[in-house]
Amino acid sequence: MILKTFIKRLVPRVLEDDISILSPKTVVLRKAIGHSGFKFGLLLFILIILLGILGPFFLDISPYQQDLDKRLLPPVWIEGGSWDHLLGTDGNGRDYLSRILSGTRISLTIGIGAALVGMIIGVTLGVIAGYFGGWIDQFVNYILTCQLALPGLLLAMTLVFLIGPSIPVVIIVIGCLHWTLFLVVTRSVTKRIVKLDFVSASNAIGATKLQIIMQDILPGIINQIIVIFTLEVGVAILAEASLSFLGVGIQPPTPSWGLLIAEGKEAIFFQPWLIVLPGIALFLLVVSINMLGDGLRDIMDPKSKLE
Amino acid sequence: MLKFISGRFVVVIAVALTLSFITFFLLNVAIDPAQAVAGEEAEALEIEQVRQQYGFDRPILIRYFEWFKAVLTGDLGISYYWNKPVGSLLLERAPETITLALMSVLVTIFIAIPLGICAAINPNSVIDRMCLGVAVSFQAIPNFWLGLVMIIIFSVTFPIFPVSGDKTYFHFILPSIVLGASSVPPVMRLMRTGLLDVMEADYIRTARSNGFFGRKLILNHAMRNALLPVVSVLAVQLGHKFGGSVITESVFSINGLGRLALESILGADIPTVQILVFVFAFTFLILNLLADILNAYLDPRLR
């Protein structure tokens, strides 16, 4: 330990020079290995995905199968629980572990889908505003101001419920209401890139606007987009859970976590685990995604130091 | 200053007008209002009847201008679901939501600002790391779940607070903690980075060399500048509280605007939903405008 700090103090210059020899990929990889938050988030995320996608194949109990003789069984660690139902059963006698595990897929589908929709809207508007500037930029800015003032949750509730709650509708509505972060970042980075010499060079050799946007600008903003995409998946998952909890999102009997919590609300006095367990699942998934996103931001930032 | 305010005010009015049109358009085109009123199982003939009875068959622009003219004269329309003027519904329910929103911002201030200061005074210490951990986890906790867990802990296991209701201020304590907690991470982070930035400034070094240190230095010199961005973010967060009240109010059964919104949506009550979306958006805009003005007043560089 002492030796390490001693060496660092002696040869900081050499270490910095060393980075310039390494290929960018190696630098990112090394940063990833040295970033404990990123590693933890990635591990937790992979674990949840494995449980959520492979888990249902190993459990031979369907999340929809009702057994009215075995209603509201407690989890195995509470008295009265049994090994047949590790996390107990819900008010209709359905296996809670199986329901929570299959909820993972619903959350992830909606989270990733909605973030994709938001990304398409935000990045398109952002690149257009940043590249063309002038009145187009001002117009996009005006749209942004309007979007920020809209009460997102309320509008999402109204649209999803009155159009007809289903997974595609939830994805599109949440996506259409969560694109502002993509826009803001894409626009500012595009503005910076447009001023660079290689864009003028492309312009000079007769590249079309579309070519410049696709080949010069997009590669420069992809890192930031990946980071925001990751974080927005977490935001969208929470939004879906809120909608389903309020009864205006995914409808029963589909095991969405928000819906499980809403159903557990009836049993808040005597079976609190019905509320606590899906909430923990939701929390772990979103925490892992957020840590992954924060980690990616640090890793992909060229200014961050290599340990 | 007057020019600055009037310029901002024009933008607010323009955005408000655009939003009123967008919400009207969304609620009348993306959703078929006649279908919504008649219900899902309604026959085609029934829907057609509703369409004519409520005048949904006329062009949308004409209906928008009629609605807009009525709103300007103070007539917010009649709710289909409650069979009451929307205006009186709003007045009945608004006090609960305003109380909840203000109390939750107080909660945010009392938790986030001290934590942010502690984290900034000892950067990279255990306290700083803990604050960051709290921030990361609070961002991942869904609001409604936090509310239910608080009820399980503080109302069911240890019966200190009432489970639900809105009769006394005591009933509002748990809900405002829940609603306020969601704003703690952004406000705390801003307080921390703001204070860290200010502590590097030249005038703080001068103050230090003149013998100021510790609490006096931070409270008298650094805080004043570090608080500027925090104030405007708090105003934005207060704006979010009105929209966010939907979840908290339905968890704790508070009869405010948020619950009214949920009940109106479930009852396909488009006139009420329309006004509520607009009221929440307008409140947000006005609070933002106030924050801008306050900031410009406190910081002459912004004018």
The pLDDT of residue A4 is 55
Q: Please state whether the peptide bond connecting residue A253 to the residue before it is cis, i.e. omega within 30 degrees of 0.
A: yes
A107-141 pLDDT tens trace = 999 999 999 999 999 999 999 999 998 899 999 99
What sign has the CA pseudo-torsion A258, A262, A268, A273?
negative
Please give the pLDDT value at position B104: 93
Q: Do A272 and B262 touch (CB under 8 A)?
A: no
Domain boundaries, chain A: 31-58+76-300
Q: Which residues of A touch B273 (CB under 8 A)?
A: 154, 158
For residue A14, what pLDDT is reported? 43
Which residues in chain A are contacts of B141 at CB distance < 8 A? 279, 283
What is the arithmetic mean of pLDDT over A6-24?
55
Percent over 90 (pLDDT), chain A: 32
Q: Please, are residues A257 and A107 in contact by the beta-carbon 8 Å criterion?
A: yes
CB contact under 8 A, B262 and A246: yes
Residues on chain A touching B31 (C-beta within 8 angstroms) = 158-159, 162-163
- Cross-chain Cβ contact A151/B277 below 8 Å: yes
Question: pLDDT, tens digit, for every residue of B261-282?
Answer: 998 888 888 888 888 998 899 8
Position B303 scores a pLDDT of 64
Q: Select the residue of B11, B31, B141 nearest A162 (Cβ to Cβ).
A: B31
Q: Which CATH class is domain B90-256?
A: mainly alpha
Contacts of B146 (CB under 8 A, 6+ apart): B178, B181
**Mutual orientation of helices A2-10 and A12-21 as an angle, nearest 10°?**
80
Rounded Cα gap, residues B271 and B63, in angstroms? 12
Contacts of A85 (CB under 8 A, 6+ apart): A61, A70, A73, A75, A76, A95, A96, A97
Q: Which of the residues in chain B have pLDDT under 70? A: 40, 213-216, 219-220, 302-303
pLDDT at A275: 87
Tell me if A108 sits within 8 A of A117, measured CB to CB.
no
Percent of chain B residues topping a pLDDT of 70: 97
pLDDT band at A19 (very low <50, low <70, confident <90, very high): low
Binned at pLDDT 50, 70 and 90, residue A175 comes out as very high
The topology under which CATH files domain A31-58+76-300 is: MetI-like fold (1.10.3720)
Confidence of residue A13 (pLDDT cuts 50, 70, 90): very low
Helix segments in B39-85, DSSP class H: 44-54, 60-72
Q: Are A135 and A194 in contact (CB under 8 A)?
A: no
Cβ(B257)–Cβ(B245) below 8 Å: yes
Residue A223 pLDDT grade (very low, low, confident, very high; cuts 50, 70, 90): confident
DSSP state of A25: H
**What pLDDT is stored for residue B123 in this prediction?**
76
CA distance A116 to B192: 32
Contact B222, B204 (CB under 8 A): yes
Q: Where does the pLDDT of residue A229 fall: very low under 50, low under 70, confident under 90, or very high at 90 and above?
A: very high
Whole-number pLDDT of residue A12: 44
For residue A8, the model assigns a pLDDT of 54
Predicted pLDDT of residue A176: 92
A205–chain B Cβ distance below 8 A for any pair: no
**Would you state the structure tokens that stand for residue A203, as one six-digit string?**
């312009």
pLDDT (0 to 100) of residue A304: 67
ipTM over 0.95: no
Do the chains contact at B265 and A162, CB–CB below 8 Å? yes
Angstrom distance (rounded) from CA B295 to CA B229: 8
Distance between terminal CA atoms of chain A?
14
Bigger pLDDT: B157 or A180? A180
Query: For position B35, what pLDDT does the model report?
Result: 75
For an interface test with B, the pick among A110, A246, A274, A275 (most B C-beta atoms closer than 10 Å) comes out as: A246
Residue whose C-alpha is closest to residue B259's, from B272, B274, B269, B248: B248
Tokens of residue A236, six digits: 């969208």
What are A32-89's pLDDT values in tens digits?
A: 777 888 888 999 999 999 888 887 777 777 777 777 777 777 776 777 767 777 777 7
Residues in chain B whose beta carbon is closer than 8 A to a beta carbon of chain A? 11, 14-15, 18-19, 22-23, 26-27, 30-31, 36, 136-137, 139-145, 148-149, 151-152, 156, 242-244, 246-247, 250, 261-262, 265-266, 268, 273, 276-277, 280-281, 284-285, 288
CB contact (8 A) between residue A162 and residue B156: no
CA angle A229, A232, A235 (to 5 degrees): 165
CA atoms lying within 13 Å on the CB side of residue A35: 26
Give A253-269 pLDDT, tens digit per residue.
888 899 989 888 888 88
